[in-house]
Amino acid sequence: MPINLQQLQEQFEREHFIDTTKPVWNYSLLTDEDIKNFQNGTHYTLYEKFGSHSIKVNGIWGMYFCVWAPSAKFVNVIGNFNNWNKLAHPLHPRWDKSGIWEGFIPHFKLGEVYKYHIVGANNFIGDKGDPFAHFWELKPLTASITWDLYYAWNDQEWMQNRKKHNALNAPWSVYEVHLASWQRPEPGNEHKYNTYDQIRERLVPYVKEMGFTHVELMPIAEHPFDGSWGYQITGYYAPTSRFGDPQGLMRLIDAFHQEGIGVILDWVPSHFPYDAHGLYMFDGNHTYEYADMRKGFHPDWNSYIFNYKRGEVKSFLISNARFWFDVFHIDGIRVDAVSSMLKLNYSRKEGEWEPNEFGGDGNLEAIQFIKDLNEMVYRDFPDVQTIAEEATDWPGVSKPTYTGGLGFGMKWMMGWMHDSLNYFKRDPIYRAHHQNDFTFSMMYYYDENFMLPISHDEVVHGKSPLIFKMPGDLWQKFANLRLFFTYMWTHPGAKLLFMGSEFGQTSEWNYKSELDWHLLQYQSHRGAQHCLKQLNQLLKTEPALHIKQFTTDGFEWVDLNHREECVIVYKRKGENPEDDLLIVLNMTPEVRTDWVIEITGKQYTQEIFNSDLKEYDGTGDVYNPQIRCECVDAIEQRYRITINIPPLAGLILK
């Protein structure tokens, strides 16, 4: 049975002389096993001992500090408590040459700002934030803050039952959110933020009302620059202070869980910025990043790449993933920029990278890191998911590690996103010639467990908002948008939609402002929003739309032979044949009356969804209160149904 913290403290105090005459007492929470696992890259709970921890030593409350700085010659805790004196409170280097500095400062309180003043290699002298800090000052200030993460959770029901909500055969409809710009207290003021509690009061009911099953929060770990959208992190173990303290985020996640909504965090183990208070050149050497800039520098993002070969860095990162699952009860991580981690030649020209020991372009230690990460997550949290943002043809991304895969639960289907948007951008008159763009996704769909992403990346940098990717006049744009939603929600796989797309946001996403909520005064925008809400409801209530979303018998093409008319028909199939659904998509603005479809297996007699309804701001003129269905061959169970298909619309029949 593992020793607990109190037993460890009592043992240390029994076995060691603690010199209480010095400002920093010689004290350690680390065991020899901790050090061994830390160095081997197999210590996955570093957050329990590294960083700052409020403990009682010899009957006196204070703060224990522990930091890894292997090239440091001197490490001193500085802050308001000692008037930022760079000599007054030096930490003790461990005798075992592990590069860890530690010590206990009596009477040090929670809520105090601090940094580590480090004298290191290559004449380095600098003040660094704590890599394990749980709270940081609000930008532009950069000090860490001592903090306790105690919180009384109220999500026991969700945590006990979440396995069924997060399973691969559960409905997955994910709302991607950038917390700062979803809503602001002053819409045009980029320096004002709602608090976690204000976000909780507004966002949770909205996501619940819209029927999304999960939210994905763009990176909320502490980061200095708003323009990085959270992807350039300095405080990996701290929720950003822009919205309040860590317990505020806990209350937000707790509230989502109480409403039956899962929470996914965007997680960035691929790179970090060069800010002076962050991880870069932490002790005067390349401590966290590769020393060889052919591997250690990221040319696209002007940032630095973690050294996955170093056991201590690997322990830092895998512990960080575990920290969010363990302490914040999250339901999944979307791992950013996996392609850049896997490939040594990612965004590099010939001569700018060095092959691995086998002559290939794979980063072998990054591959092993990813496998170890996923094995830890699914071992310790079997009721969550890891999701890879990976854009290459790397095999087995969402296959188990024991079969040679990387071990993710799901992978973003970037090919589907590109092909589908290219198809829908075309004037309907030309779509007949590009049906392959539409159908190609099912050629490779079963290679992975795919999530269909329409993410923030698709609505920035001149790419235009989703509504303006659609061709035609305003009516056709909204009809196409509803048709696209119908297609996306009936295509196999999990769904992810970036905020604002659900109501036809008309401006590109701007992190400095907020969504165009004023558009909801217009029926066309309210109609699109209502349409998506209904699709979310169907996704949850119709087993055929999710129960076999990753298996080969969950989908069947019915009619791809009307290329000129651009009418496409397919089935989604459940465990029971009576649950099967027939999806009919009309990709042109032509009304198709008395349209005949021949099917096998069962009859379809009810229209349960029509994207052209008046309540969605459609025409409302073409629908099927009764579906004519006649038996063509009773032995073969072949039927002929005759329906009317609205313009630029999708139907779901049961």
The vertex-329 CA angle with 328 and 333, nearest 5°, equals 90
Burial call 306-335: b when 16+ CB within 10 Å, e when fewer = bbbbbbbbbbbbbbbbbbbbbbbbbbbbbb
User: Active-site residue numbers?
Assistant: 336, 389
Both tokens of residue 296?
Answer: 């250690």
Beta strands across the sheet bearing 649-653:
555-559, 567-572, 581-586, 649-653, 607-610
Distance CA(572)–CA(292), nearest Å, equals 50
Q: How many CB atoms lie within 10 A of CB 250?
A: 21
Could you tell me whether strands 450-454 and 410-412 are parallel, antiparallel, or unpaired per DSSP bridges?
parallel
From residue 26, give the alpha-carbon distance in Å to each of 13, 29, 94.
10, 11, 10
Question: For the chain, how many helices (H) and strands (E)?
Answer: 15, 29
Distance CA(355)–CA(344), nearest Å, equals 7
Q: How many CB atoms lie within 10 A of CB 92?
A: 19
C-beta of residue 637 within 8 angstroms of C-beta of residue 593: no
Could you tell me whether strands 125-128 and 113-119 are parallel, antiparallel, or unpaired per DSSP bridges?
antiparallel
Residue 27 phi, psi dihedral angles, 5° rounding: -155, 150
Residues listed for the chain = 654
From residue 148, give the alpha-carbon distance in Å to each of 9, 237, 245, 370, 637.
18, 12, 10, 30, 66
Residue 210 phi, psi dihedral angles, 5° rounding: -75, -15
C-beta of residue 530 within 8 angstroms of C-beta of residue 523: no
